[in-house]
Amino acid sequence: MRIVVGMSGGVDSSVAALLLQRAGHEVSGFFMQNWEDQDPESGCHADADRKDALAVCAQLGIRFHSGNFAADYRTRVFQHFLDEYRAGRTPNPDVLCNHEIKFGAFLEAVRAAGADKLATGHYARNAFSGGRWKLLRAHDQSKDQTYFLHTLDQEQLGAAVFPLADLDKTEVRRIAAAAALPVAAKKDSTGICFIGERDFRTFLSTFIPARPGALRTPEGTAVGEHQGAMFYTLGQRAGLHIGGRAAGNGEPWYVVGKAMASNTVYVDQGHASHWLQSRSLTANALHWVAGVAPAPTFQCMAMTRYRQPPQACTVEVAGDTCRVSFEAVQRAVAPGQSVVFYRGDECLGGAVIAATDAPAIGAPA
């Protein structure tokens, strides 16, 4: 089988290529350039990552290709990222990147080159059962990435190969070291490449002008100044610079709401602030891996952020929207993030969080 591996220059995709080669497949590596940045201080290591991917392919004796998908990324992922921040929401660009770029524009290029499958270093599993493809959690649940892959459709999932599906991260490192791969000890990448090592606020303000404004309690008392409402997300504690106020109760301050029209960020004290608590949410842009919802109303487990323990809930579907009611109170559920649904190890799909039933700022507590 002819398989193209999306090579990031990291240990996961490198071991994915190695395992496929050992299994007897005709393997080639492909490095995707998704961002162009002329700032040498950006900390985005695309050039170094490309060299690492090339070195691994050379060691394995497989063909190496590279392609520039920066234009697609800007129009299909980054523009959405900016639009969401302008609206006061907290987007997740990795989810959109997987659907639009890695298993979208990139998959189209792979097929045009005559390959049978596209492999990545994601920690996830796929299986064909009951006449359809299923997206399943990886063996290493601490690294499972199905949360970021939940928008894949049947065609995309059927074209995917996940060689690390049954491996722990420690085993991946061991395989890389035993094979003397040059990236065996390379640190895992974190965050978003287009931001790199730069301060998030500095980066975002180059695209969206920041407007400082008031930090207020839900009752309206000014307690400080923020640097721009777009920079803050529900539940955030760091960077508020309002600790130690004489009028406070000694507990840490957290972001509990935003009003973009008035450029106000609302804060309250205490991790368990009731302003952050909700029992239900509404979501839109629904996507089901199977192509259809399991039922108009069904029970399952859901995650509202990556690595959150799955939470029991009931989902009520109405066209492209849904209402999710949780058995337990949820904290700091952020509009713009994804709610992703599971039954056992199977990822059913997900949606973009639009709103929650957390107490409305300005309404009676």
What CATH fold (topology level) applies to the domain 210-271?
Answer: SH3 type barrels. (2.30.30)
Look at residues 118, 122, 11 and name the one whose alpha carbon lies nearest to residue 56. 11
In the predicted model, what is the mean pLDDT of residues 268-280? 96
Please report the pLDDT score of residue 210 as a whole number. Answer: 87
Q: What is the rounded distance in angstroms from the CA atom of residue 365 to the CA atom of residue 43?
A: 45
Using 50, 70 and 90 to split pLDDT, how confident is the model at 243?
A: low
Please report the pLDDT score of residue 36 as a whole number. Answer: 77
Domains 2-178 and 276-356 share a fold: no
What contacts 236, CB < 8 A, 6 or more positions away?
254, 255
Using 50, 70 and 90 to split pLDDT, how confident is the model at 365?
A: very low
| Tokens at 290, concatenated | 């199977």
Please report the pLDDT score of residue 189 as a whole number. Answer: 78
Q: Residue ranges of the domains in the chain?
A: 2-178, 210-271, 276-356
Please report the pLDDT score of residue 203 as a whole number. Answer: 86
In the predicted model, what is the mean pLDDT of residues 269-278? 96
Q: What percent of the chain has pLDDT over 70?
A: 93
Q: Is the pLDDT of residue 129 over 50?
A: yes
Catalytic residues: 97, 193
Please report the pLDDT score of residue 248 as a whole number. Answer: 65
Please state whether beta strands 26-33 and 2-6 pair in parallel, antiparallel, or not at all (unpaired). Answer: parallel
- CATH number at 2-178: 3.40.50.620
Using 50, 70 and 90 to split pLDDT, how confident is the model at 247?
A: low
The mean pLDDT value of the chain amounts to: 93
Burial class (CB in 10 A: 0-12, 13-18, 19+), 17: buried
- Residue 346 near residue 136 (C-beta atoms within 8 A): yes
Per-residue pLDDT tens for 152-183? Answer: 999 999 999 999 999 999 999 999 999 999 99
Look at residues 263, 278, 266, 299 and name the one whose alpha carbon lies nearest to residue 356. 278
Per-residue pLDDT tens for 141-150? Answer: 999 999 999 9
Q: What is the rounded distance in angstroms from the CA atom of residue 199 to the CA atom of residue 204?
A: 9
Longest dimension (CA), the chain: 69
Q: What is the rounded distance in angstroms from the CA atom of residue 264 to the CA atom of residue 260?
A: 6
In the predicted model, what is the mean pLDDT of residues 19-48? 82
Please report the pLDDT score of residue 363 as a whole number. Answer: 53
Please report the pLDDT score of residue 315 as a whole number. Answer: 98
Using 50, 70 and 90 to split pLDDT, how confident is the model at 197?
A: low
What CATH fold (topology level) applies to the domain 276-356?
Answer: Elongation Factor Tu (Ef-tu); domain 3 (2.40.30)
Per-residue pLDDT tens for 282-306? Answer: 999 999 999 999 999 999 999 999 9
Helices then strands, counting H and E runs in the chain, come out as 10, 17
In the predicted model, what is the mean pLDDT of residues 358-363? 81
Q: Is the pLDDT of residue 6 over 60?
A: yes
pTM: 0.94
In the predicted model, what is the mean pLDDT of residues 109-128? 95
